[in-house]
Structure 1
């Protein structure tokens, strides 16, 4: 395995969870989108988008609201470049980025996080939806979204960071993806260990540069591949310095046509859950470095750079 190999978290049938795999093409189902009556179609679209490489969209909340950036899907080697293309010609300084992601490439997430911070971006977690009303289109954010694995470190890149009560923020270790099916029984070379330690070092530097704490790294790196993802409690979110404000108005624009996130929490019975690989969605491209992405709802197995 070369020093440049990249890892990503995908479903492991044997572990009934998700593992970081390197240098493979894959389809990823990411359960966790939730709906309210009238928003089922939008939530299903979000669910499908989370299987694909990350896409950036500008969501405008009319009539007197500047909108926000929706970032949905898996971070790949193309994501930093695609964000640069998306940002070209747009005034994104101080913009809010709404995340809905299972993670992705470690090194490319770090690069993307630096781009967000250079813009002085604000970050939060949610599912962006646009619906038609008698007054026209209405843009809003559903709060019960998932931000997992490297998405958590993208969240950390925000100058101001808000996490709604209904959101799920989950972490795990980095691991070698091609040995995820039976991590305990697999053998590892000195080169493998070097790659893991190299990427942990890069991630640690990034965490401190962004104002995160050692507690975040400790929590993430204590979850092995054979255990479930660890969902951060409100106390742990603060301990990790992932939350800097409790006011949604500090990150999301509000006007008469947009409801606050807290008012949009759907009923538990409305949640859409999918447990496996679905549909012919185009696989996220794997490149060489470390990756981490985890579909929601299952046991997880993590993996590092290859």
Structure 2
């Protein structure tokens, strides 16, 4: 799948609903997790980071970028040395491959993982770690969000949907030509996506909303009511996703929100500028045509 990106909206920094306050040091593995830098990273192949915190939080997985054919394998490698059962995944992604995202989502559900949208805040000067809700989950990322056993979408996050399309023709979809093989690939992947949606507890409304938006239109941002209609939200309690080890972490959320917002409002607001659409990302199962061409179903 492929995404066409449009950016906008106000910046909401570490609202009490999502900023996770931690006492003690925070360690990140697999690369540093931070808020502003993900603007470009979310258009690159997905990478995973582990934010470990002591003593009042178990930690979480940051998943930033586009799902490619390598992503499921890379997640397996990332998970091999970690106990990720029941852990939270914080998503900031512009989508990616249909079938590889489905494979990754099924891995997350098998691990009983929990999902939300945001970018991890890399603590500096002794500040507590947290998650900035101003992030984007678009196209196939929405179906990764659906993979969570528990799903939370904070105020300030953007969840956007779009149609499946041929990635190599999505930029000028109406002018392109299509073969019967192309249509077969698209319809096959829609069927796989429909089965996955229902397996994950999503509704037909999610498929209806996504498949109604052609690639020559802007992505459709889901309203709070639509997030509930589609079952993308299962809880309004952030503690159900981040599972703090004791009640002190919950009490510290509001305190950390104020500290981080005071220091970062101007910094992040300046970073959140409209970005151009990323290049097409192909599905894993590209079909070789009789002429030697390659077709793949993507989401724009």
**Common topology (TM > 0.5):** yes
Q: 1:128 to 1:85 in 2, by over 3 A?
A: same
TM-score normalized by the length of structure 1: 0.76
Q: CA deviation at 1:225?
A: 1.0
- 1:102 and 1:108 map into 2 onto residues whose CA distance is 14
- 1:181 and 1:89 map into 2 onto residues whose CA distance is 40
- Equivalence map 1:209-248=2 (5 Å): 209-248=199-238
What do the CA deviations read for 1:210-230 (whole angstroms, capped 9, x no partner)? 000000000000001111100
What do the CA deviations read for 1:84-135 (whole angstroms, capped 9, x no partner)? 11111211111011111011100000000000000001100001012123xx
Name the structure 1 match of 2:194.
204
Give the one of 57, 62, 68 matched to 1:70: 62
Q: Say if 1:97 and 1:124, in contact at 8 Å, map to a contact too.
A: yes
Question: Are residue 89 (structure 1) and residue 81 (structure 2) matched?
Answer: yes
- 1:209 and 1:131 map into 2 onto residues whose CA distance is 37
- 2:281 and 2:186 map into 1 onto residues whose CA distance is 21
- Equivalence map 1:125-144=2 (5 Å): 125-133=117-125, 136=126, 138-144=128-134
Name the structure 2 match of 1:46.
38
SS of the residue 1:63 aligns to: coil
Question: Are residue 106 (structure 1) and residue 102 (structure 2) matched?
Answer: no
What do the CA deviations read for 1:161-184 (whole angstroms, capped 9, x no partner)? 000021100000011122223212
Name the structure 1 match of 2:163.
173
What do the CA deviations read for 1:199-251 (whole angstroms, capped 9, x no partner)? 00000000000000000000000001111100001111111011000111110
- 1:257 and 1:132 map into 2 onto residues whose CA distance is 21
Q: Say if 1:57 and 1:70, in contact at 8 Å, map to a contact too.
A: yes
- 1:91 and 1:32 map into 2 onto residues whose CA distance is 36
Q: Say if 1:61 and 1:258, in contact at 8 Å, map to a contact too.
A: no
More off after superposition, 46-55 vs 147-156: 46-55
TM-score normalized by the length of structure 2: 0.77
Name the structure 2 match of 1:259.
253
Q: Say if 1:32 and 1:272, in contact at 8 Å, map to a contact too.
A: no
More off after superposition, 75-84 vs 254-263: 254-263
Q: 1:81 to 1:33 in 2, by over 3 A?
A: farther
Q: Say if 2:43 and 2:93, in contact at 8 Å, map to a contact too.
A: no
Consecutive unaligned residues of structure 1, counting only runs of 5 or more, are 1-6, 10-16, 19-28, 291-302
SS of the residue 2:99 aligns to: helix
Q: 1:284 to 1:141 in 2, by over 3 A?
A: farther
- 1:56 and 1:156 map into 2 onto residues whose CA distance is 18
Name the structure 2 match of 1:8.
2
Higher relative contact order (CA 8 A, sep 6+): 1
- 1:69 and 1:197 map into 2 onto residues whose CA distance is 33
Q: What is the root-mean-square deviation of aligned Cα atoms in Å?
A: 3.2
Question: Are residue 304 (structure 1) and residue 300 (structure 2) matched?
Answer: no
Q: Say if 2:58 and 2:242, in contact at 8 Å, map to a contact too.
A: no
Q: Say if 1:35 and 1:272, in contact at 8 Å, map to a contact too.
A: no
SS of the residue 2:242 aligns to: coil
